[in-house]
Every structure is written in structure tokens, then in C-alpha cells.
Amino acid sequence: MFSSSLSSSRRICVAPMMDWTDRHGRYFLRLITRRALLYTEMVPTAALQRGDRARFLDHHPDEHPLALQLGGGDPAALAECARMAEDWGYDEVNLNAGCPSDRVAAGGFGACLMAEPERVAACVAAMKAAVRVPVTVKHRIGIDDRDDGEHLDAFVRTIVSAGCDAVIIHARKAILGGLSPKHNRTVPPLRHDLVHGIKAAMPGVTVVINGGIVTLDQAAVHLERVDGVMIGRAAFDTPYMLADVDRRFHGDPGPPPTRAEILDALVDYARQQQARGVGLDRVFRRVHGLLRGLPGARAWRRRLQEIILRSNADPLLIAEATGRLMGQL
């Protein structure tokens, strides 16, 4: 079983998203909420076994609590990569059984794994035998025509029996070979009721719901039925909503950080990263939604884009642009 602190952080977590939850995107989110559980982008096992491990596994200490999501379907390879994750200090290892990409499916992992629950169970068991940190699975409610409550129930029971510590269920089925990953996030209808039903049928299983949840008010309603809520694109479309997570869901005292404080801290981080050869665009490319809804936010976004496209620009220019906008409010 995982620690009570990790269980608490799981109440609100941010989904693994390719090109979004890289280490710089995660650091940005951590400046907004200290408590939400963050996930890496999906990392294929082959990339860790054959590539530059530090490139995929290095992270800032402040990113915790932090989970590594793995893509793979071979139990031995997943066990080896889970050990790497534990050695690198990750708080959880998560198996991707929900990505509908044709390229991912060609590698024998992602959502296609839902057609082979016993194989997923073998992967979970191998990882559990290799590490002490929690092992979880993120999956869909089903694939193609296997999308009813019976199939979902059987899948969850199979992987839980292998030791899966929590299931994170995207409340849409995946349509394989017919829809792009983008359309698979919007076209199949949401079935939050099926996820609620899994928790009702298996009250001892930790169930986290994902899909179409874009506000903390919506999250609060779901938390009456499940153990956790995973927020996806909305975490970057309107990131400042996460500033209320620590107070609202964890009872933390004190005011949340202001937008200006968040950007000031990110400027300091960007200067450290520049010294390591990291361009401003890598650090700031996911912050455009931070001032969404404020007067002058569009002009600020334009100015931000102008600055970050200049690789050697001083990050203080961003702080100055933000300061001018805040001074007008």
C-alpha cells in the first residue's frame, strides 16, 4: 500500500500528456499547487533501456509528489524500468493502457492492452515484485466494441488481483484504428457513470476518474463517488484554477500564490536552466493560460511569445511585462 500522503495527493492529480508534462511543465504546475500528484509524459520502456536515461528520468526535487508513466507490454522490461524509476526517486510507477495511438499500438502497448487483461496483470505483477513504490494502471473504460460495464469490471478485477494499487480510468472508450488520438479525447462519449460503478462495486479499490473534468467544482462532485480526480488539458488551459487545490482539498492554511509570484519564481528557474543551455521556449511554452481571463492577457501572451522566441533573452523581461500588466489591474 502507498503512503497516506500520496493517497491524499491523488485526490487531485494532473494527467500524463505528451509535450505538456515534461519536466519544465511540471515545475510550472508545482509552483501553483504543492499537493497535486503530477505525472510525467509517457516514457516507452525501449527509450529507457536503450537511450539516455537521464534525459527521461531526471527531474527537479520540487516536482514531488511525482509519478513516472511507462509505455510497454513486456513484463520483464517493465520491471527493469520500474526499478529505474524507483532508483531515480519517483513516488509511483504507472502503466499506460489507454493511449489509442496507432504508433503506440504497433509497439504492443497503450489502449490495445485492454484486449489482454491477463497480460496487463502479468506486467503489474512483475513491476510489483521489482519495486516498493505503488504500481498503478491508467486505462480507458474499454476499446472498440468492448465498452460495457461487464468488460470494464472484468479488466479491473484482473489487474487488481495482480497487485495494482490504483486504477486511473479515462471515462471514454478508445476507438482503435479509426480515430486519431486527438479525436479519441473528444469523440467517444463520456461515461463517468461506469467509473463510478467500478468504485461502488469494488469499494476497496482506489479509483481515480479522468476525462472531461475542467473545474474544481466538477472535481469535488466526482470526489463524492471516487477516490481521486485526474485533470488533463484544463491544467494548462486554465492553470491558475489549481492554485485552490491545496486549500480546498487539503486544508492548507494561507493564501494561494499569486500569478505574479508564480511567474517570478519561474523566471528564477528559467535563469538557472539557461545556465544549463535550456532555452526560454522550453520553460515558458506551457504558461500562456496562466493569465487567462484577465484584462490585457492577450497582449501579455503576445509579448511572452516575442521574448521566448529569442533564445538568449533575459527572463527578467517576462517579469517586467507581467509587472506592467498587474500594475494596470
Q: Where are the alpha helices (DSSP H) in the chain?
A: 4-9, 23-32, 45-50, 53-57, 75-87, 102-106, 117-130, 149-161, 181-184, 192-201, 216-222, 234-237, 245-250, 259-274, 280-284, 297-308, 316-328
For the chain, what is the total number of helices (H) and then of strands (E)?
17, 8
Q: Name the active-site residue from 99, 112, 123, 164.
A: 99
CB 36 within 8 A of CB 29: yes
What size, in residues, is the chain? 329
Q: Match 517570478 to its residue by C-alpha cell.
A: 264
CB 237 within 8 A of CB 18: no
* Active-site residue flag, 99: yes
Q: What is the DSSP letter of 165?
A: -
**What is the C-alpha separation between 155 and 115, in angstroms, rounded?**
9
Residues tagged active-site: 99
